[in-house]
Structure 1
Amino acid sequence: MIDKNIYRIHYLHCKKIYVALEELNIPYDLHLVNIGKDEQFTPEFLKISPNNKIPAIVDQNPPPEFGEGHLSIFESAAILQYLADYKKGKGAPDLYPKNPRERVKVNEWLYWQIAGLGPMMGQLNHFSSKNIDYAKERYSKEVDRLFGVMNKRLGEYEYLAGDNYTIADIASYTWLLNDNKLKATDTPYQNIKAWIERISARPAVKKAIEAAKAK
């Protein structure tokens, strides 16, 4: 039996890619992987994602600099960087700036989510259903600490990497969208709450979230 929390974590990672694809105006075909039936362990999928995790993508028509043949990519941060760097559609926003100084800031907050916020929220979600007080307290305090870091940042800037919306925001947004603590009227993290509302109002984000719900 697979823990329901595993489904949730995989789903949150996948929603990042939905949002990026819609924001960047990239056409795509969706292929569902049923982790409840262990489809992530099939030889076919492991060729695409050797870590047997979703999301993963296959670009059938990568840019010329990648050589001939399709390109498969796993890990959500790597997918976000690739899509924003190489597959941006006509009229799409610049979600991964070319300016080196600005790009460093995007990378900082993108990796902050991948290495910190995501794993800590995942552990808290898992241990919240277990009778292990130490683990629940540990991860609850760490998530609150990370929320505090993010709330302070968003009190200084409109978005995580600065004044512009980027893949760093997308990476954290899908994890925080439905967090009960952040949705509360009296949440101590008002800057995060306002940031979520700004992103949620974006037409491409609305479309992506609805598309994800339907799957």
Structure 2
Amino acid sequence: MSADIQAYLWPTPNGKKIYVTLEELNIPYDVRLVNIGKNEQFDPEFLKISPNNKIPAIVDQNPPKEFGDGPISIFESAAILQYLADYKKGEGAPDLYPKNPRERVKVNEWLYWQIAGLGPMMGQLNHFSPTNIDYAKERYSKETDRLLGVMNKRLGEYNYLAGDKYTIADIASYTWLLNSDKIKAEDTLYPNVKAWFERISERPAVKRAAEKAKL
């Protein structure tokens, strides 16, 4: 029997966010791999779900009644994380997206910080690092360092990005740092980020996601 959630994924940082969130929220799901190396993201059937031809995307075959009849599809990782945490939280799962308005604003701030800043800058750094384009490498390396500095300062004041609770904002940034030597090095300039990263890595749901997505 199929799960309500069909998750269209590939093991990129944005795809891995969804694996972690689904595991944390104890939501049954089926994975439909979209091999971006073979341009499967341009398949017409996938474009009906994700018109921006990007993973991740999900289809909820059984959305809450306020969404009306029939399945709902969602693309863009932040929108997916918010939807899952708001509407599909499973039994015994942590509250990853608090209802309290003041707390929710903080989650949104750091979630969008990752979407607009950390992810794009690290993506560009990864893209240009193998090239001979020194200007681009320097630009994106400096901006990544600046953002990690912002993150390090925040995590020196709070246990998690939105405050003292683990939320979808943490998941969003965590998967972008999985392969970051800037964080994992013994002499890292960002010890608070490293400590936060190591705490999250020990979570049972994150370990399950790692097995399924090869994080």
TM-score range, shorter chain: over 0.9
More helix by share: 1
Shift of residue 169 of structure 1? 0.1
Unaligned runs of 5+ in 2: 1-9
Partner of 2:130: 129
SS, match of residue 187 in structure 2: coil
- Please list the CA deviations of residues 140-164 of structure 1 after superposition, one character each: whole Å capped at 9, or x if unmatched: 0000000000000000000000000
Identical-pair percentage: 83
Partner of 2:64: 63
Partner of 1:22: 23
Matches within 5 A, 1:34-73: 34-73=35-74
Shift of residue 10 of structure 1? 6.3
Q: Tell me if the contact between 1:49 and 1:73 (Cα under 8 Å) persists in the aligned partners.
A: yes
Aligned residues: 206
- Please list the CA deviations of residues 68-116 of structure 1 after superposition, one character each: whole Å capped at 9, or x if unmatched: 0000000000000000000000000000000000000000000000000
Partner of 1:150: 151
Q: Tell me if the contact between 1:19 and 1:205 (Cα under 8 Å) persists in the aligned partners.
A: yes
For 1:163, give the aligned amino acid.
D
Question: Is residue 183 of structure 1 aligned with residue 184 of structure 2?
Answer: yes
Q: Tell me if the contact between 2:17 and 2:172 (Cα under 8 Å) persists in the aligned partners.
A: yes
Q: Tell me if the contact between 2:11 and 2:214 (Cα under 8 Å) persists in the aligned partners.
A: no
Unaligned runs of 5+ in 1: 1-8
SS, match of residue 73 in structure 1: strand
Partner of 1:86: 87
TM-score (norm 1): 0.94
SS, match of residue 48 in structure 2: helix
Q: Tell me if the contact between 2:60 and 2:72 (Cα under 8 Å) persists in the aligned partners.
A: yes
Whole-angstrom CA distance in 1 between matches of 2:89 and 2:183: 31
More strand by share: 2
